[in-house]
Amino acid sequence: MLRWLGHQRVAVLNGGLKAWCAAGEVLEQSVPNYPVADFAGSPDPGRIVTTDEVCAALHDGRPMQLVDARDRPRFDGHTEPIDSVAGHIPGALNFPFSENLHTDGTWKSPDELRRAWAEVLGTDATAPITVMCGSGVTACHLVLSAGIAGIDEPRVYIGSWSEWLRDASRPVAVVA
Protein backbone atom coordinates (compact mmCIF):
# COMPACT_ATOMS: atom_id res chain seq x y z
CA MET A 1 0.00 0.00 0.00
CA LEU A 2 2.89 2.34 0.70
CA ARG A 3 4.32 1.72 -2.78
CA TRP A 4 0.88 2.53 -4.23
CA LEU A 5 1.27 5.92 -2.55
CA GLY A 6 4.76 6.37 -4.03
CA HIS A 7 6.92 5.33 -1.08
CA GLN A 8 9.49 2.89 -2.46
CA ARG A 9 11.58 2.07 0.63
CA VAL A 10 9.27 -0.41 2.35
CA ALA A 11 9.95 -3.70 4.08
CA VAL A 12 8.15 -6.43 6.00
CA LEU A 13 9.67 -8.20 8.99
CA ASN A 14 9.86 -11.87 7.97
CA GLY A 15 8.15 -13.83 10.72
CA GLY A 16 6.94 -10.74 12.51
CA LEU A 17 7.66 -9.74 16.07
CA LYS A 18 7.84 -13.37 17.18
CA ALA A 19 10.78 -14.03 14.82
CA TRP A 20 12.46 -10.78 15.91
CA CYS A 21 12.36 -11.85 19.56
CA ALA A 22 13.39 -15.43 18.72
CA ALA A 23 16.49 -14.02 16.99
CA GLY A 24 17.45 -12.34 20.26
CA GLU A 25 16.76 -8.83 19.02
CA VAL A 26 15.92 -6.10 21.51
CA LEU A 27 12.56 -4.38 21.86
CA GLU A 28 12.66 -0.71 22.74
CA GLN A 29 10.69 0.26 25.82
CA SER A 30 10.58 3.95 24.98
CA VAL A 31 9.31 5.81 21.95
CA PRO A 32 12.25 7.05 19.86
CA ASN A 33 12.33 10.70 18.86
CA TYR A 34 12.64 11.08 15.09
CA PRO A 35 12.89 14.34 13.18
CA VAL A 36 9.66 15.51 11.61
CA ALA A 37 9.37 14.56 7.96
CA ASP A 38 6.78 15.14 5.29
CA PHE A 39 5.50 12.50 2.95
CA ALA A 40 3.08 13.60 0.27
CA GLY A 41 1.67 10.38 -1.06
CA SER A 42 0.52 10.30 -4.64
CA PRO A 43 -1.62 7.26 -5.51
CA ASP A 44 -0.55 5.37 -8.63
CA PRO A 45 -3.71 4.36 -10.51
CA GLY A 46 -1.68 1.81 -12.50
CA ARG A 47 -1.35 -0.38 -9.41
CA ILE A 48 -5.06 -0.83 -8.82
CA VAL A 49 -8.11 -2.26 -10.56
CA THR A 50 -11.58 -0.80 -10.11
CA THR A 51 -14.94 -2.52 -9.91
CA ASP A 52 -15.79 -1.04 -13.31
CA GLU A 53 -12.74 -2.75 -14.81
CA VAL A 54 -13.70 -6.12 -13.30
CA CYS A 55 -17.29 -5.73 -14.52
CA ALA A 56 -16.11 -4.79 -18.01
CA ALA A 57 -13.81 -7.81 -18.21
CA LEU A 58 -16.63 -10.14 -17.14
CA HIS A 59 -19.12 -8.49 -19.51
CA ASP A 60 -16.73 -8.67 -22.48
CA GLY A 61 -15.61 -12.22 -21.69
CA ARG A 62 -12.00 -11.06 -21.38
CA PRO A 63 -9.84 -13.37 -19.29
CA MET A 64 -8.69 -11.79 -16.07
CA GLN A 65 -6.27 -13.46 -13.71
CA LEU A 66 -8.22 -12.42 -10.62
CA VAL A 67 -6.77 -14.14 -7.55
CA ASP A 68 -8.68 -13.98 -4.26
CA ALA A 69 -6.64 -14.09 -1.02
CA ARG A 70 -9.52 -15.09 1.28
CA ASP A 71 -9.56 -18.50 2.92
CA ARG A 72 -11.20 -21.31 0.97
CA PRO A 73 -14.47 -21.61 2.93
CA ARG A 74 -15.22 -17.92 2.29
CA PHE A 75 -14.17 -18.13 -1.37
CA ASP A 76 -16.15 -21.34 -1.89
CA GLY A 77 -19.27 -19.75 -0.43
CA HIS A 78 -19.54 -22.03 2.60
CA THR A 79 -19.16 -19.30 5.22
CA GLU A 80 -18.93 -15.53 5.36
CA PRO A 81 -18.18 -13.99 8.76
CA ILE A 82 -17.92 -10.39 7.53
CA ASP A 83 -19.98 -9.66 4.42
CA SER A 84 -23.64 -10.40 3.72
CA VAL A 85 -23.00 -12.96 0.98
CA ALA A 86 -20.48 -15.79 0.71
CA GLY A 87 -18.79 -16.80 -2.54
CA HIS A 88 -16.52 -15.24 -5.12
CA ILE A 89 -16.45 -13.31 -8.38
CA PRO A 90 -17.06 -15.70 -11.29
CA GLY A 91 -13.78 -16.80 -12.86
CA ALA A 92 -11.69 -15.80 -9.84
CA LEU A 93 -8.98 -18.12 -8.59
CA ASN A 94 -8.26 -18.79 -4.92
CA PHE A 95 -4.86 -18.46 -3.24
CA PRO A 96 -5.39 -17.99 0.51
CA PHE A 97 -2.79 -15.51 1.76
CA SER A 98 -1.96 -17.82 4.69
CA GLU A 99 -0.52 -20.35 2.22
CA ASN A 100 2.39 -17.96 1.59
CA LEU A 101 3.76 -18.64 5.04
CA HIS A 102 5.30 -21.50 6.99
CA THR A 103 3.56 -22.47 10.23
CA ASP A 104 6.04 -20.29 12.16
CA GLY A 105 4.86 -17.21 10.25
CA THR A 106 7.94 -16.84 8.03
CA TRP A 107 7.65 -16.52 4.28
CA LYS A 108 8.05 -19.58 2.10
CA SER A 109 11.06 -19.58 -0.20
CA PRO A 110 10.95 -17.99 -3.67
CA ASP A 111 10.88 -21.47 -5.22
CA GLU A 112 8.01 -22.62 -3.00
CA LEU A 113 6.03 -19.48 -3.80
CA ARG A 114 6.75 -19.77 -7.53
CA ARG A 115 5.40 -23.33 -7.48
CA ALA A 116 2.34 -22.25 -5.48
CA TRP A 117 1.58 -19.42 -7.91
CA ALA A 118 2.05 -21.78 -10.88
CA GLU A 119 -0.41 -24.20 -9.30
CA VAL A 120 -2.98 -21.43 -8.79
CA LEU A 121 -2.54 -19.87 -12.24
CA GLY A 122 -2.18 -23.08 -14.20
CA THR A 123 -1.16 -22.74 -17.83
CA ASP A 124 -1.76 -18.97 -17.95
CA ALA A 125 1.06 -18.09 -15.53
CA THR A 126 2.41 -15.22 -17.64
CA ALA A 127 -0.81 -13.20 -17.98
CA PRO A 128 -1.14 -10.07 -15.81
CA ILE A 129 -2.50 -10.80 -12.34
CA THR A 130 -5.02 -8.89 -10.26
CA VAL A 131 -5.38 -9.76 -6.58
CA MET A 132 -8.31 -9.19 -4.24
CA CYS A 133 -9.61 -10.26 -0.84
CA GLY A 134 -12.46 -9.18 1.42
CA SER A 135 -11.65 -5.49 1.60
CA GLY A 136 -8.37 -5.00 -0.32
CA VAL A 137 -5.90 -5.30 2.58
CA THR A 138 -4.74 -8.95 2.61
CA ALA A 139 -4.61 -8.82 -1.18
CA CYS A 140 -1.41 -6.83 -0.60
CA HIS A 141 0.01 -10.00 0.97
CA LEU A 142 -0.31 -11.66 -2.44
CA VAL A 143 1.46 -8.70 -4.06
CA LEU A 144 4.43 -9.30 -1.76
CA SER A 145 4.23 -13.05 -2.33
CA ALA A 146 4.39 -12.57 -6.10
CA GLY A 147 7.39 -10.27 -5.69
CA ILE A 148 9.24 -12.85 -3.60
CA ALA A 149 8.39 -15.46 -6.24
CA GLY A 150 9.82 -13.26 -9.00
CA ILE A 151 6.43 -12.74 -10.65
CA ASP A 152 5.43 -9.37 -12.12
CA GLU A 153 3.67 -7.27 -9.51
CA PRO A 154 -0.08 -7.84 -9.52
CA ARG A 155 -2.53 -4.98 -9.45
CA VAL A 156 -4.95 -4.84 -6.51
CA TYR A 157 -8.70 -4.78 -6.89
CA ILE A 158 -9.08 -2.36 -4.01
CA GLY A 159 -12.84 -2.68 -3.60
CA SER A 160 -12.58 -6.45 -3.38
CA TRP A 161 -15.44 -8.65 -2.17
CA SER A 162 -17.05 -6.05 0.10
CA GLU A 163 -17.43 -3.58 -2.76
CA TRP A 164 -18.46 -6.25 -5.26
CA LEU A 165 -21.46 -7.09 -3.07
CA ARG A 166 -22.76 -3.51 -2.91
CA ASP A 167 -24.64 -4.12 -6.15
CA ALA A 168 -26.90 -7.18 -5.95
CA SER A 169 -26.98 -7.44 -9.75
CA ARG A 170 -23.28 -8.45 -9.85
CA PRO A 171 -22.82 -12.20 -10.22
CA VAL A 172 -21.63 -14.38 -7.34
CA ALA A 173 -20.17 -17.86 -7.75
CA VAL A 174 -20.00 -20.65 -5.17
CA VAL A 175 -18.33 -24.04 -5.11
CA ALA A 176 -20.70 -26.95 -4.46
Active-site positions?
A: 133
Please state, as a whole number, how many other Cβ atoms lie within 10 Å of the Cβ of residue 160. Answer: 26
Please state, as a whole number, how many other Cβ atoms lie within 10 Å of the Cβ of residue 120. Answer: 17
Please state, as a whole number, how many other Cβ atoms lie within 10 Å of the Cβ of residue 130. Answer: 21
- Integer-rounded Cα radius of gyration of the chain: 18
Closest alpha carbon to 138 in 150, 156, 121, 124: 156
Give the separation between CA 38 and CA 95, rounded to whole angstroms: 37
